[in-house]
Amino acid sequence: MHNNPFNLIISGLGGQGVFTLTKALWKLCEMNNIKCQSSTFKGGAQKHGSIYSVLRIFIKDNKHYDLYSTQILEQELDLIIGLEAWETLRYKEYFNEKTKILMNHHISPFQIERIDSIKGKDPVQLITDLNLDTLIRDFSAKSKQSFGTTKMVNFLLGLEVFKIGIIPFNTADYIKVFEDQIHAGRKLKSKLMNYK
Amino acid sequence: MDSYQNIMVNGNEAVAWGALCSNIDYFAHYPGSPINMVEPAIKKLVSKFNMNIAINDSLNEHIAALCAAGASYCGARSLVVMKHVGVNIAADPFNYLGYTGVKGGMVIVVGTDPGANSSTGEEDTHWYAPQFNFPLFEPTSVREIFDYVVQSYELSEKYSIPVLIFIPGRLCYNSDSIQIPDHLYGNLSGHSSNPIYYFKKDNKKYINVGKRAIQNHRGLLERLEKLSQNSNYSKKYFNSKAKSGLITRGLTFGNVYESVIRLGIQQKVHLLNLDLVFPVNADIVRDFVKGKNEVTIIEDQDGFLEFHIKAVLFNKTKCLIRGKEFFPKYGEIVFKQVSDYLSNLFNIKPKKYNFSPCENIIPERLGTFCEGCPHRASFYAIERALQGTEGVIGGDIGCSSLPPFRADWLMCMNAGIGISQGMSHILSRQTVISTGGESTFFHGGIISLQNAVLNRINMIHIVFDNRVIGMTGRQASPTTRKNVNYKKLLKSIGVDRLSVVSAFKPSKFAKVLKKEIQQKGVRVIWVNTPCAQTPDLAAKLKRHILLPFIDSTQCRECTLCYDKLCCPAIYRTNEKNDQFNIDTARCMRCGTCRDICPNNAVKTNFAAPLPKLVSGCVKLIFNSLK
């Protein structure tokens, strides 16, 4: 009997914290004795490049998780956490009618094209038009308001996963694990630890 | 039973743990994605456990291979790490290390890249294994990476042969927890003393020529044959009596294993994964195909395993052996291809979804330069100097190649100076400007430059010295610690003219270049400007003090800064017109836009009141001294 793992993609751009969130979720799985395969892809660019990670969380079946594929089969994605709109839409081939989309309302221009082949198109609207279970919020503004920086969007998106109850973890554990992952000043870490 | 330590690692880190737990004494590498994180992981562990390991941050893969061999000849266990294309560079010594054999175990870890996710190509390096006559492992999981690194040292010493381990990019960045038995974990803290090694002279082994070389070649083949017969590094799953067989290697194993389970065909197939990909153990393969009607070999790239399995089974089975008839030789084999193939083979209807994604094609975010990257400014200067001509720009590997349109080709290490040299030799109407970073210059470019001097070739080579190996994680290059006198170096090899410029003054840079184009001989322009990701103190202070902006009253919307320089920190204030400004959160204060603006529209203010600026500067200086 095949127990499909929970398939999750985290997407964004270089510097947005895709890897930090990935590592935090992965560590949380390990802490809870839930096996998880996680792969990250960063390409060649230091900044502004597409970044994504794949997490396959074996909530039901832990035994042979490392024999499974490191890839997700097309149309088998359960959840995508998007830190940027175009980078969320990039993985649409993996969506099915039950895929949940959790996304920051942020659109980053295609830096080097300048002559934009997708001019006039709104990726947020395109995602909304898919009619999937979608939560799109301006997490950048919320991050700025709560932490004084937009760099905590990844943290807030991760927190939302637990609020929705998709993965059954303790929020306090998540905050602690996340704090371990980031290289931030004392001030920001203290704000994080006191975050409610 | 041995207890163990549970640690969480990615594929790169698993290599480091495996090697250090195996008591290595020597580590040599040349950084290259996807295997670029082994070096920092080793250095971190060496520092954490206070280990005494000789580390060689080699200038290229050839020297890394030879250095590790030298250590191994003296009895030390050595690790060499490089990416797939690096094996081309190291191939020369690898061709003969099998002849000499090794004393201390020698393991060569190679990051492969089917799908070219972090490389300029997806060369199938597997074919080197039979050329070198080295055994080759291909792990299927992070845990296996650790296990096979450990086992490879034992194997290497037992058969006196270097062992190859190939890890595809996807697995290099895959993370998992691994269990390290205490007896191996204990090696980490027990490795503080420096053992005394000795090189035992042996002309028969180490001097290979004529009959001796043939004798040693024969010895190598015999050792390899013995290793093949005595080893069973494979795993089998599902129904051994099934008439259909599947054979895999590396990451295709996971795709096949999961597809079989998803489709519920466990009773209909028998799956064999070969962890030791070369040499193929003939007994295992013959035994596997016995009683089967058909076997499909599913693997990435050229069909290396299929070739060798067919050779082993030639005229020895009636079983139908297939592979590349169904799977492409290019790109990475994706899960869907495997799942679709097995669905067709067993007439299973694929799962239907009531969803079709929108048809918009999302453009690739092609690589670009960071804000404040000196390469951006340099290419702007080169393009200005060549404006209106049919000038050619020779491109090289590294960050300078990131936007794949600034140079005229992108191929391999030193392709900038090499191809440009050939072109300069024969072109009369077109100016050729060769480019490359300082890392590629020291990797092999310096020899090409010496070659240009020797052959009296009229050429211009530009060295982008950003003082780090930027693309692979900002490892140190020879100019990082400013201990290379490149002026003396270039003079001593006979370069005719040398100019030193700053990338952030593109107007001056373009003038210098125009002047050099008129000259003859071997001319070098050394662009001495640090990487934006490793700014020096002056750059940090500028960022703290200055607040640049575009004065809309002086901007004439020429769009040079936006369309030609393409700095990501410059943005349109309104999509409908050509009004621009600078995003100060992104801007690195390099000043390039100010230098190129023909209307003096880029201005700067102080970022804060003077006392606050002063205290901030003091803090920055103090931190840099620490």
Give the closest residue to A88 by CA, choosing from A147, A13, A32. A13
Considering its fold, how many domains does chain A have in total?
Answer: 1
Q: CA B295, CA B313: separation in Å to the nearest integer?
A: 12
For residue A23, give the amino acid letter. K
Instruction: Choose among A41, A66, A112: nearest Cβ to B141.
Output: A66
Q: Which of A169-178, B429-438, B467-476 has the highest mean pLDDT?
A: B429-438
pLDDT mean over B286-297: 97
Q: CA B38, CA B51: separation in Å to the nearest integer?
A: 16
Q: Which residues of B touch A71 (CB under 8 A)?
A: 170, 254-255, 334-335
Q: Which residues of A touch B251 (CB under 8 A)?
A: 70
Cis peptide before B279 (omega within 30 of 0): yes
B17-52 tens-digit pLDDT: 999 999 999 999 999 999 999 999 999 999 999 999
B132-178 tens-digit pLDDT: 999 999 999 999 999 999 999 999 999 999 999 999 999 999 999 89
B71 pLDDT exceeds 70?
Answer: yes
The answer to whether the CB of B39 falls within 8 A of the CB of B20 is no
The Cα-based distances of B140 to A104, B79, B167, B184, B335 in angstroms read 35, 20, 9, 22, 15
Q: Which one is predicted more confidently, B613 or B211? A: B211
Q: Which residues of B touch A30 (CB under 8 A)?
A: 8, 177
Q: Is residue A1 part of a domain?
A: no
The DSSP 8-state label assigned to residue A94 in this structure reads G
Give B235's strand partners: B273
Q: What is the pLDDT of residue B402?
A: 84
Q: How many CB pairs under 8 A join A and B?
A: 143
Using the Cβ of B566 and the Cβ atoms of chain A, whether some distance falls under 8 Å is answered with yes
Instruction: Choose among A41, A74, A130: nearest Cβ to B173.
Output: A41
Instruction: Choose among A49, A71, A75: nearest Cβ to B365.
Output: A49
B409-439 tens-digit pLDDT: 999 999 999 999 999 999 999 999 999 999 9
Work out the pLDDT band at B189, boundaries 50, 70, 90: confident
Q: What is the pLDDT of residue A169?
A: 83
Q: What is the pLDDT of residue A42?
A: 79
Work out the pLDDT band at A118, boundaries 50, 70, 90: low
Work out the pLDDT band at A87, boundaries 50, 70, 90: very high
Cβ-defined contact of A95 to B357 (cutoff 8 Å): yes
Residue with tokens 């920001």: A188
Q: Which domain holds residue A148?
A: 6-193
Q: Which residue of B has its CA nearest to A75?
A: B353
Instruction: Name the percent of chain B lying above pLDDT 70.
Output: 99
H/E stretch holding B72: helix B61-73
B509 pLDDT exceeds 90?
Answer: yes
A43-86 tens-digit pLDDT: 766 677 899 999 999 988 777 888 999 999 999 999 999 999 99
Q: CA A109, CA A43: separation in Å to the nearest integer?
A: 18
Instruction: Choose among B175, B257, B355: nearest Cβ to A97.
Output: B355
Q: CA A126, CA B385: separation in Å to the nearest integer?
A: 43
Q: Which one is predicted more confidently, B604 or B472? A: B604
Give the closest residue to B34 by CA, choosing from B137, B90, B144, B113. B113
Q: Which residue of B has its CA nearest to A12?
A: B365
The ipTM value here is 0.93
> B219-244 burial string, b = 16+ CB within 10 Å, else e?
bbeebbeebbeebebbbebbeeebeb
Cβ-defined contact of B363 to A48 (cutoff 8 Å): no
B544 pLDDT exceeds 90?
Answer: no
pLDDT mean over B311-324: 95
- The mean pLDDT of chain B is 93
Q: Is residue A17 part of a domain?
A: yes
Q: What is the pLDDT of residue A113?
A: 46
Query: Which residues fall within 8 angstroms of residue B328, CB to CB, at 6 or more apart?
Result: B337
CA-angle at B57, arms to B54 and B62, nearest 5°: 105
Indicate which of A9, A39, A77, A110 best probes the interface with B, i.e. most B CBs within 10 Å of its own CB: A39
The answer to whether the CB of B529 falls within 8 A of the CB of B374 is yes
Cβ-defined contact of A86 to B533 (cutoff 8 Å): no
Burial of A178 (0-12, 13-18, 19+ CB in 10 A): buried
Q: Coil, strand or helix: which one is B280?
A: coil
Give the closest residue to B249 by CA, choosing from B298, B322, B320, B309. B298
Cβ-defined contact of A43 to B177 (cutoff 8 Å): no
Using the Cβ of B366 and the Cβ atoms of chain A, whether some distance falls under 8 Å is answered with yes
Instruction: Please state, as a whole number, how many other Cβ atoms lie within 10 Å of the Cβ of residue B200.
Output: 10
Q: CA A126, CA A122: separation in Å to the nearest integer?
A: 6
pLDDT mean over B597-602: 96
Using the Cβ of B568 and the Cβ atoms of chain A, whether some distance falls under 8 Å is answered with yes
Q: What is the pLDDT of residue B38?
A: 97
Q: Which residue of A has its CA nearest to B264?
A: A1
Residue with tokens 């490089």: B82
pLDDT mean over B115-135: 93
Indicate which of B362, B380, B572, B588 best probes the interface with A, i.e. most A CBs within 10 Å of its own CB: B362
Instruction: Choose among A71, A90, A111: nearest Cβ to B368.
Output: A111
Q: Is residue A45 part of a domain?
A: yes
The answer to whether the CB of B540 falls within 8 A of the CB of B344 is no
Q: Is residue A156 part of a domain?
A: yes
Instruction: Name the percent of chain B lying above pLDDT 90.
Output: 78
User: What are the DSSP E strand ranges found in B440-575?
Assistant: 459-465, 468-469, 475-476, 497-501, 522-528, 546-550, 570-572
Give the closest residue to B329 by CA, choosing from B306, B354, B296. B306
For residue A176, give the amino acid letter. K
- Total count of residues recorded for chain B: 626
B452 pLDDT exceeds 90?
Answer: yes
Q: Is residue A133 part of a domain?
A: yes
The answer to whether the CB of A103 falls within 8 A of the CB of A85 is yes
Instruction: Please state, as a whole number, how many other Cβ atoms lie within 10 Å of the Cβ of residue B36.
Output: 22
Q: What is the pLDDT of residue B422?
A: 96
Q: What is the pLDDT of residue B266?
A: 97
Q: Which of the residue ranges B204-208, B247-251, B451-455, B543-547 would you say has the lowest mean pLDDT? A: B543-547
B576 pLDDT exceeds 70?
Answer: no
Q: Is residue A136 part of a domain?
A: yes
Work out the pLDDT band at B1, boundaries 50, 70, 90: low
- CATH code at A65? 3.40.920.10
Q: Which residues of B touch A13 (CB under 8 A)?
A: 365
Indicate which of B140, B365, B466 best probes the interface with A, i.e. most A CBs within 10 Å of its own CB: B365
For residue B396, give the amino acid letter. D
Q: CA B464, CA B440: separation in Å to the nearest integer?
A: 10
Mark which residues 133-162 of B lie under 8 Å from A by CB.
140-143
CA distance B346 to chain A (A): 18
The answer to whether the CB of B407 falls within 8 A of the CB of B394 is yes
CA dihedral A83, A86, A87, A90 (to 10 degrees): 150
Mark which residues 4-33 of B lie under 8 Å from A by CB.
8, 10, 33
Instruction: Please state, as a whole number, how many other Cβ atoms lie within 10 Å of the Cβ of residue B6.
Output: 9
